[in-house]
Amino acid sequence: MAFSFPPSLIGLILDQGENDDDEMVSLMKDLSAFRIISLKDTGINQNITNDMFQVINDFTIRNGFNDFFVVRSSEENIIIRVMESEDMISEAIIMFSEDNGLTVINLKGNIKPENVAKLIDSEVFQDLEELYSR
């Protein structure tokens, strides 16, 4: 499954939420692109997830993305690679790899480095994952 939508849409949704987070709303409105690709392992071809991870991994290395954050364990891998322009991140590719699938999030815009961690920790990604896993 893959989808893309204007980041300002998330900002509007956050504006309407009970626990408004002005910083998160501002961050989402500063993005120019927000894309998600998700592969869930259905057992038909378990190599597709590994192949997709390798393709995206190779793409980020080949195109000059730098490691921003990496966690590797037996259960999951989280890799955040960024392309920086001056003091801002112009593009971030976030890869979540687990036994049952792969999720890749692509963000473009003017992102302050300190906001990347806040974005990952936010409930926005968990809510989106729940939405597309249905």
pLDDT tens-digit series, residues 92-107: 999 888 777 888 989 8
Pairwise CA distance, residues 65 & 74, whole Å:
25
Residue written as tokens 């890869």? 95
Pairwise CA distance, residues 90 & 1, whole Å:
25
pLDDT digits (tens), the chain, 134 positions: 555 666 666 555 555 555 545 666 667 767 888 888 888 766 656 677 888 889 999 999 999 999 998 888 877 788 999 999 888 999 999 988 877 788 898 988 888 887 776 776 666 555 555 554 54
